[in-house]
Amino acid sequence: MYQRFQDLGIPVTLVRNTDETVDPTERVNRILNAYGNNSNVIVLSNHINAGGGDGAEVIYALRNNSDLATLIATELQRAGQNIRNVYQRRLPSDSSKDYYFIHRNTGKTQPLIIEYGFLDSTKDDVSQLKNNYPAYVDAVVRAVLEYIGESSPSDTYVVQAGDSLWSIAKKFNTTVDELKKLNNLTSNTLKIGQKLKIPTENNEPEGTGFYIVKKGDSLYSIARQYNTTVEELMRLNNLTSSSLSIGQQLKVPAEVNPPITDNYIIYTVKAGDSLYSIARQYNTTVNELMDYNNLTTNLLSVGQKLKVPTEVEVKPPTSTPEPEGITYTVQRGDSLYSIARQYNTTVDAIMKLNNLNSTSLSIGQTLKIPLGNTNTETRYIVKAGDNLYNIARQYNTTVDAIRRRNNLSSNNLSIGQVLIIP
């Protein structure tokens, strides 16, 4: 991961690069000495879990929101790992403080503990940690790049024991010739640890999506899921056999229109989708989508099928007026003030719309958020991958102007946040 960030030109420091024991105080000192005590410093504390569970966990500090943690969990899920939890943890003796010292003592930085899986898992984690760790590395790097508004010109892959150009080409749905051309290779010989650039997907034909192979998948089950045939999947991916490997990326036919049943439509999740954006598109709520699909988390994976409830024939909207309000589910650490600030409204307006007689909130509570009257100003809802620079360019304004109009103290944005564009 360190090398990956270096290759991309992202400033990065290792707290330790040898097998040494570092006590909590020294570890915190090395973190704060690297780039200073700044809120734009991201700290990634990488771990393997134990205790008999299964799946990845991402734990974030009380002072931070869940955006980066959720992005990391989403990318790990796309890389084939199941997600156990994304959460914060409080110190039992003082609930205003973080449980973990890496959160509690690292000043203004944004620290995350990433538990990639359980070493004593009785399910999938042991083999996944052994075989899939390069994919998990790339998953975390992709999440961080998206969060800070950077992009990678191409994916890279670190050669493992037993790899060949043919097996790597098959894994990433490309050809040996394309790999050799992109990496200026004159032979098929590879070295363990060698870094290869992988062709990006920017030139894929319209009408295709991507699916990451999970444990138990077969070409038949994937073909059935996407209303296609095994033969079509093999043709689309240049496969010569029906064998699949966990983490392999497959091209799949994208549905032009979601199928409609009597009570709901089937929607296939695309890159960049969130439950909020889907709910807004189809005039429903996040809670209703979660109830209808028996979801226990907001995390989605590309290619996932969702039932979208409807009582009439539903068509994707063309240009509909903005709703008068949106629905928000209270998260740990929220206050009426922080929610009002996020959505450019006031505490009084939220209390009035929800008939609240106190500012106390409970986790999981549903609030209606008034979007207010912005007169002739444009209202913009932040999507995955957005940053202030590209939003300013899109609306022919400046980053400073957007920050002033929205009383922003930093360039950090959260998905679903409402901005007023001056």
Task: Name the strand (E) or helix (H) holding 201.
Answer: none
Between CA 127 and CA 193 the distance in angstroms is 20
Encode 329-354 in three state secondary structure: ECCCCCCHHHHHHHCCCCHHHHHHHC
- Burial of residue 359 (number of CB atoms within 10 Å: 0-12, 13-18, 19+): exposed
Cβ atoms of 264 and 311 within 8 Å: the answer is no
Between CA 117 and CA 300 the distance in angstroms is 19
State the average pLDDT over residues 99-113. Answer: 96
Query: What is the per-residue burial (b if ≥16 Cβ within 10 Å, else e) of 107-126?
Result: eebbbbbbbbbbeebeebbe
Which structure tokens are listed for 135? 């994919």
The pLDDT value recorded for residue 152 is 52
Between CA 98 and CA 101 the distance in angstroms is 7
State the average pLDDT over residues 360-385. Answer: 70
Q: What is the three-class DSSP state of 325?
A: strand
Asked if the model's pLDDT at residue 153 lies above 50, the reply is no
pTM (global) more than 0.75: no
The pLDDT value recorded for residue 209 is 60
- Rounded to 10 deg, the angle between the 67-78 and 133-148 helix axes is 140
Cβ atoms of 154 and 199 within 8 Å: the answer is yes
Selected residue with higher pLDDT from 303 and 63: 63
Terminal Cα distance for the chain, rounded = 39
Cβ atoms of 413 and 338 within 8 Å: the answer is no
The pLDDT value recorded for residue 242 is 78
Asked if the model's pLDDT at residue 22 lies above 60, the reply is yes
Instruction: Please give the distance of CA 415 from its chain centroid, rounded to a whole number.
Output: 10
- Alpha carbon separation from 186 to 153, 164, 177, 312 (Å, rounded): 23, 14, 10, 60
- Alpha carbon separation from 129 to 51, 56, 205 (Å, rounded): 16, 10, 33
Strands (E), 142-238: 155-158, 195-198, 208-212
225-242 per-position pLDDT tens digit: 776 778 788 888 778 777
